[in-house]
Structure formats: C-alpha cells, structure tokens
Amino acid sequence: MIVEIGHFALVLALATAIIVSVLPVIGVYRRDANMMAVATTGSLVMFGLVALSFAALTWAYVVSDFSVKNVWENSHSLMPLLYKYSGVWGNHEGSMMLWLLILVFFSALVAVFGRNIPETLKANVLSVQAWISLAFLLFILFTSNPFVRLDPAPAEGQDLNPILQDFGLAIHPPLLYLGYVGFSVCFSFAVAALMEGRIDAAWARWVRPWTLAAWTFLTAGIAMGSYWAYYELGWGGWWFWDPVENASFMPWLAGTALLHSALVMEKREALKIWTVLLAIMTFSLSLLGTFLVRSGVLTSVHAFATDPSRGIFILCILAIFIGGAFMLFAWRAPTLKAGGLFAPISREGALVLNNLILTVSTATVLTGTLYPLALETLTGEKISVGAPFFNMTFGLLMLPLLIAAPLGPMLAWKRADLLGAMQRLWIFAGLALIVGLTLWYMQNGGPILAIFGLALGCWGMLGAVADLWCRGNFGKLPVMTSLRRLKGLPRSAWGTALAHFGLGVTVVGIVAASAFSTEHVVEMKQGQTVEAGGYSLTFDGFREAVGPNYTEERGHFTVSSGGATVSDVWSSKRLYTARRMPTTEAGILTFGLSQLYVSLGDPMDGGGIVVRIWWKPLILCIWGGCLIMMVGGFVSLSDRRLRVGAPSRKAKSVKPVMEPAE
C-alpha cells in the first residue's frame, strides 16, 4: 500500500510539474500576480510529493519488501540497516529518484528563500526548474519506475553490489547530486534572465549563493568519491580519469569559472553575457554527465543497468534543454547590454584569465572524454584515452592558473599594479620555494618537476596567507590592530583565502603522492617481512571471519619501525555470499598525512599470498585540501552580503516595462 502511495505521489508530482511549468510563465506574460504565485506554492507541493514518494521507496528498502522489483534486485534482508537506506540510491531507478528529489529540493529552496527576487524573475526561474523536473519525472515514470511490483514476491533479495556496501555510498551520491543538480538553479536563473531580456549586477548577486552552494557540495562530493574509490577498490589510486569521474569534474571546473565570473558581474557589471553562457554550460555539463553515466554508453561501477531506451530518453532531455538554452541564448544575448570596461591588469583581468584557463581545460577534459565515443560511433574503432592524455594536457594547462591564483586577490579592481602585487608577494614566493625544496629534500630525491609542483602548491598556500597578511596590514600596524582588521574582513574574503589555500594543499598532496609513492608487489609467506616507506611489515597469517552477508579471510600484518612495533593492520578478501562476488578490503594505516596501503592478491601454492604495499606520502593533503576548499565555500556562503539581496530592485522590476516573455 505504502509503495502504491509513493507511486501515486510521483504521478501527482508530474501533474504539479505540468502546472508549474505553464501557469507562472503565462502569469509573467499577463502580469498576473496570482498566476505567478502558483510557482512558489507549486514548487513546495512538488517537493512535498517527491519527498513522500522517496520516503515510500526508502520504507520498502528498510522493511525489505521484496515484492518491489527494485528492492529485490538491490537489497538483502541481512544487509546492515545503513546500507538499506543508502541502497535506495545504489541503483539506477533509486539514484534518479535522488536526482529528482534534490532538484525539487532546490526549487523549494528558491521558493522559500527567494523573497528578495523580483516576482517575475522568480516565477520564470521556478517554471524553468519545473520544466527540468517534468522531464525527469517523465523519465522516471516511463523508463525507470522504481515502484514496479513482482508477483509472486521472492523470499530473498539479490543483495546490493558489494562494492557499494560501504559508508561512502551513504554520503558520496547525495553530496555529489547536491552539487551537480544545484547548478540547475544557475541554469534556471540564466534562462529566466534571457526570457526577460534583462540582466544586471543584482542578477549575479542572486545567482552567486546558489553557485557557491552547489560548488561547495560538488567539491565535497568529488573528494568523497575519490577517497572512497581509493580505499574501496584496492588499487591504491585516487583518480583514474575515468569518463564517469570526468563527468563530475567538468561541471566542477565550469562551476568554478562561473563562481569567479559572477563575482566580476556582481561587483563591476562586466562579463554579463559570458556569465549567463557559463551558467548554461555548467548545468549542461551536469546533464551530459548524467547522460554518460546513466545511458549505458560507458561501463563502470556507476553505470548500473544498460537499457537503450533510457539512453535515448536522456539524450532527448539533453538535446531539448541544452539546445533550447543555447538557441535562446543566441537569440536574446545580443539584446543584453555589455557592461563595464577594465584594464587587462586588474582584478577583473585576473578573473578573466581564470575563466579562460578553466574553460579551456574543461574543453580539454570534454574532448578526451567524448573522443573515444565519437570515434567509435563514426569509425567503429575502439581506443582508450587514459590518464597519460589528461595528465599531459590538463596538468600543463593548470600550471598558469596555479601560478596566477595567489596574485588575483592582490590586484585592485579596474586597474591594478602587477609590480606592486608582485613586490608584496615575492617574499612569499621565496618562502614557497624554500618549503618546496625542503619537502623535496625530506622525501630525498625525485624528479625536478615534483620540486616545482611542490613549490607551486606551497605558493598557493602561502599566497592565500599573504592575501590575509596584506589585508590585515601586518608588519605596518600593531599586531592587535591587524588582528582586528582581519576580524573585520568580510567573510567572503576569508572564504577566498581558505579556498585558495585548500587548492594549494591539494596540489601538494597530488604532487607528493604521485612523485614519491613507493610500491612493492611481493609474494609473502607467514612470518616474512617487507620494508615500505621506512616501516617493516610482517605477515602474521590469516584469520577467517564472518560478516552479516559475507565471509572473509583477514590477513594480519604487524608494522614496526626500527625494531619496535608501531601498529598493526588488517587487509582482507571478502566473498559476498548472495552474489558470489569477491572484493578486496585494503588495509590502510595513517601516519600523519601519509598512509601505508596494504592490499591482498591471490593465494599461491604453498601458503604464500601476493601482497601489494604502497607508501603514499602526504596523500591525505589531497582530500584535506578539498575539505579546506569546502569550508571556504561555506564561510563565504555565510557572508551577510550574499544573503541580503537588493530590495530596492524589487520596486523597480515590477514595473511593466520589460519585453514580454515568450
């Protein structure tokens, strides 16, 4: 019964979506406040209905109702409760439900928090959101219905894919989708502005918090996914340049560009048309990512089931929304007035450079991701574009960005003195070089590029510190005065500094973990010892263990340094009984920011086993940096200036002087 209520709620949500898609737009056209108000109520109702539907599906998972096909396929009565909850989105249908839930959640947020947005703009934004919701509701109901029943109901489920039975599944998809789908709000704002044919700095002020929120969640989601892949897959890698990873990385790059260009637009009314285009592109890349992951054109842990009708449906959604938005852009953009002028060397100029580099690197990643697909479709030839391609192109393109990032915040708006900024920074550049060299020396040896990379990461970190240092005017004013000045800085300045600092930390982590990792693949018998990263690992043998829905062989290792036992670590081979699927659980031991990573291979004749041991220096910096970026995002989001809109605009915009919308 509850399952049917969920299904019915979803159908009702579809009906609501149709109403919200149409009425507010007509309302804007006819200046009818009541019709426009439908958008707010309708969006809230839609959120309520989808949430109810999602709750019904979750309920079916929690009570293990195997008469629901989706639950039978992806759950098991013995599965721990947490995985029953997270298993809801550990499959195609459920993950689309999560996608939709977050989409209507954002619509509802705009409806609630968008009080200072002009009514016409708000109505249009919510309508565009409803169009997207409508498309995905149709997609779910017609091609991926999670509420399909089985008759007769099987007694036991088929279990969730063991790789997904992890805490990571509970947080990675929701965070990622909050980011991915959050950009839909920017898209809707862009389309609504194009429909109204009017755009100004206030628009950027309304869009920026949404961009910032989506960006922050996406940063967290990608970092979480990367760490999950790192510890779960047992391969010791943390980023594979897999098309599915790229699918989430491209919106992040474009979103980062959008974050910076919206800043220029808000402060200086420049780059308007470009910002609108970026807002459209960012969400288009999110949609493209959904298509790549969900259509079955790729094989990966993320592509659950392959059904051609789904792929074609999503391709249609893609074509309609991206094509439609770009056509609207081509039609309306020339009517938007271009904004303020600025010198090439200025804060604006630096932000334009940031946008140039970020969009070009997004295009590079896009090319590398789509080229194999295009080539296969056109010529039938199968190629793989892997990490070497992306490291070469993306890595090199990022260099100027990393060099320029600390300089940007130092430059003044409109016209700046690059030499002056350099003078203020040279001491920090020197420091960065020294710290980079020291780190290199501590890791004894390594290629020249690694030293450069480490120095670059330190430059990013110290540059952020220098920014705060100069703003506080340390060294010129008494320390207490400087501290007070720092305290008085807007939160967004702190956010910028934190995010740039985090970027530097991540770069240090990436360079150190790539250049200084050591790997040992050895056959070990009980009692044998291997040296890795300055520690000795002794293999003590196996122990059998039984988990709730798996059996495992756990290998025990004693870790010692200089003869004294430091710690111990377990690494195991699991066999999930329902699917007869083996997995490897890596043993990870953390020393400060570095990690020792132990993964088991196949047992050999004679009692030995192949063991793969990595020493990964400073690897935690990669995710630590992302965490700092995320904190920067939240700090910036808490800035009062972002929340307080421009109430004066409201009175002006209600005047019926604008062109009629479509």
Partner 1 sequence: MTRKQKRLAVIGGGMSFIIIAVFLVMFAFSQSVAYFFMPADLATANLQPGTRIRLGGLVEQGSVKRGQGSTVSFTVTDGNATVPVSYTGILPDLFREGQGVVTEGSFDAATHAFVADSVLAKHDENYMPKEVADRLKKDGVWEDGTGKGMAPAKDAPAEKAPDQKGQVVGSTTP
Does 403 interact with partner 1 (rule: CB under 8 A)?
no
Among 364, 492, 506, 595, binds partner 1 (CB under 8 A): 364
Among 29, 85, 235, 570, binds partner 1 (CB under 8 A): 235
Structure tokens at 241: 């340049």
**Which residue lies nearer to partner 1 by CB, 434 or 521?**
521
Q: Report the distance separating Cα 59 and Cα 467, nearest Å.
A: 51
Among 382, 487, 640, 655, binds partner 1 (CB under 8 A): 382
What is the sign of the dihedral through the CA atoms of 571, 573, 575 and 581?
positive
Site for partner 1 in 411-450 (CB under 8 A): none
**Which residue lies nearer to partner 1 by CB, 400 or 660?**
400
Q: How far is the CB of 388 from partner 1 (least distance, A)?
A: 4
Q: Report the distance separating Cα 540 and Cα 574, nearest Å.
A: 18
**Which residue lies nearer to partner 1 by CB, 364 or 482?**
364
Q: How far is the CB of 581 from partner 1 (least distance, A)?
A: 7
Burial category of 57 from C-beta neighbours within 10 Å (exposed 0-12, middle 13-18, buried 19 and up): buried
Among 197, 446, 547, 601, binds partner 1 (CB under 8 A): 601
**Which residue lies nearer to partner 1 by CB, 33 or 383?**
383
The piece of 179-187, 327-335, 386-394, 556-564 that touches partner 1 (CB under 8 A) is 386-394
CB 462 within 8 A of CB 428: yes
Site for partner 1 in 46-105 (CB under 8 A): 73
The piece of 248-256, 385-393, 476-484, 496-504 that touches partner 1 (CB under 8 A) is 385-393
CB 338 within 8 A of CB 274: no
Q: How far is the CB of 242 from partner 1 (least distance, A)?
A: 8
Site for partner 1 in 530-589 (CB under 8 A): 573, 578-584
Q: Report the distance separating Cα 541 and Cα 608, nearest Å.
A: 9
Among 309, 35, 202, 194, CA closest to 652:
202
The conformation of residue 626, written as its DSSP 8-state character, comes to H
Among 152, 155, 379, 381, binds partner 1 (CB under 8 A): 381
Q: How far is the CB of 582 from partner 1 (least distance, A)?
A: 5
Q: Report the distance separating Cα 488 and Cα 499, nearest Å.
A: 19
Site for partner 1 in 206-225 (CB under 8 A): none
Does 145 interact with partner 1 (rule: CB under 8 A)?
no
CB 248 within 8 A of CB 223: no
Please compute Rg for the chain using Cα positions: 27
Among 80, 308, 386, 660, binds partner 1 (CB under 8 A): 386
**Which residue lies nearer to partner 1 by CB, 134 or 524?**
524
Q: Three-class SS of residue 627?
A: helix
Q: How many CB atoms lie within 10 A of CB 560?
A: 15
φ/ψ of residue 400, rounded to 5: -60, -30
CB 190 within 8 A of CB 280: yes
Residues near partner 1 (CB under 8 A), total: 61
Does 205 interact with partner 1 (rule: CB under 8 A)?
no
Q: Three-class SS of residue 583?
A: strand
Among 480, 563, 605, 651, binds partner 1 (CB under 8 A): 605
The piece of 113-121, 223-231, 422-430, 520-528 that touches partner 1 (CB under 8 A) is 520-528
Q: How far is the CB of 421 from partner 1 (least distance, A)?
A: 18
**Which residue lies nearer to partner 1 by CB, 20 or 357?**
357
Q: How far is the CB of 176 from partner 1 (least distance, A)?
A: 19
Among 543, 588, 585, 593, CA closest to 568:
588
Q: Tokens 């709620």 belong to which residue? A: 9
The conformation of residue 320, written as its DSSP 8-state character, comes to I
Q: Provide the CA 357 distance to its chain's centre, in angstroms.
A: 19
Q: How far is the CB of 504 from partner 1 (least distance, A)?
A: 23
The piece of 257-265, 382-390, 428-436, 449-457 that touches partner 1 (CB under 8 A) is 382-390
Structure tokens at 259: 């974050």
Site for partner 1 in 297-356 (CB under 8 A): 298-301, 303, 305-306, 341, 343-344, 349, 352, 356
Distances (CA, A) of 84 to 2, 259, 272, 580: 17, 37, 46, 19
Q: Three-class SS of residue 487?
A: helix
Q: How far is the CB of 549 from partner 1 (least distance, A)?
A: 12
Angle at 428 between CA 424 and CA 429, to 5 degrees: 105
Sequence-ordered list of residues with C-beta below 8 angstroms from that of 640, at least 6 positions apart, any chain: 491
Is the peptide bond preceding residue 209 cis, with omega within 30 degrees of 0?
A: no
Q: How far is the CB of 525 from partner 1 (least distance, A)?
A: 12
Q: How far is the CB of 253 from partner 1 (least distance, A)?
A: 13
Q: Which residues bind partner 1 (CB under 8 A)?
A: 73, 156, 158-159, 161, 233-235, 242, 298-301, 303, 305-306, 341, 343-344, 349, 352, 356-357, 360-361, 363-364, 367-368, 371, 381-386, 388-389, 392-393, 396-397, 521-523, 573, 578-584, 599-602, 604-605, 610, 612
